[in-house]
Amino acid sequence: MAGARAEDEIAAFEKEIKQFWANFKSIYGSEQVNQIVALRDSCKESIKALTEKCSQKLKEEDLMIDKIKEYNDEILQQNKLISENEENLTEIKSNINHEEEQIKSLMDSIQEIKEELMKKKEIIASKNQATKERVEQLCRSKALFEEHLGLEIRRIHDEQLQFIFRHIDHKDPEKPYTFTLFINEQGDYEVTSCSPPLDCIAEFQKKVRETNNFSAFIANIRKAFTELSYK
């Protein structure tokens, strides 16, 4: 009796279950289930499309990051080149400044040399004028020396004067006794030759430089030649 009752209760429970599923299907019919499935599939497609889009976006961003990195590397390289060029420019500017200072120093030296040359030219011109005046004075004295001392004066090469004495040797009055004279760069009298040689010619030269007494110089040389002729 009890077993039969249990079987009846189980059967009744199964009937209720079947009725529940029948009611569920009636409430949520196959069309709505299909809509849910379609919505699910649509969501899947949207999610897939969005995933692909995001993946593509990530790839593009990765490419952009690589590009940015490449640009950064290029900018760093350019900055390095700019820094090197700035250093080179600094060195070039320094070299230019140094060369400008050297040029200025050279120009100053050239100017000093020019001024020194001008002074030397003025001094030389002045000495040349003094020399010319002395030579002219000697030439004007030529007649006097020839008349009183038997002396002939000749102008020879390199602005030198040759003095020729005669009437020295009583045995041979026409025998020449000579010496050659010129005025050097310092404006001093300088004897370049003497024939026959006189031991005292250097002393006479020194004295005429000190006194500037040329007549006495000529007279002393003639006297020395005369004394020599008697030896």
Q: Which residue has the tokens 């080179």?
A: 88
The reply to whether 172 and 141 lie within a common domain is no
State mean pLDDT over 149-167.
Answer: 88
Our count of domains for the chain comes to: 2
Amino acid at 137: Q
Question: Hey, what's the torsion of the CAs at 203, 207, 213, 219, to 10 degrees?
Answer: -20
Instruction: Count CB neighbours of 124 within 10 A.
Output: 13
CB count in 10 Å sphere of residue 168: 21
Domain of residue 226 covers 150-230
182/213 same-domain check: yes
* Residues 144 and 159 both lie in one domain: no
Q: Does one domain contain both 131 and 156?
A: no
pTM of the model: 0.42
> The domain that contains 185 carries what CATH number?
3.30.457.50
Both 185 and 223 in one domain: the answer is yes
Q: How sure is the predictor about 182, in pLDDT bands with cuts at 50, 70 and 90?
A: very high
Q: Which of 120, 148, 176 is the last residue in one of the domains?
A: 148
The pLDDT of residue 24 is above 90 = no
Range list of β-strands (E), the chain: 151-156, 160-165, 177-183, 189-195
Q: Are 179 and 225 contained in the same domain?
A: yes
Q: Residue 185 domain-assigned?
A: yes
Distance, in Å, from the CA atom of 182 to the CA atom of 79, rounded to the nearest integer, reads 78
Residue 47 lies in a domain: no
Distance CA 4, CA 12 (A): 12
pLDDT one-digit tens code per residue, 44-91: 676 677 677 767 777 777 787 888 888 788 888 888 888 888 888 888
Task: Give 98-160 as a DSSP string.
Answer: HHHHHHHHHHHHHHHHHHHHHHHHHHHHHHHHHHHHHHHHHHHTHHHHHHHH-EEEEEEGGGE
* DSSP state, residue 231: -
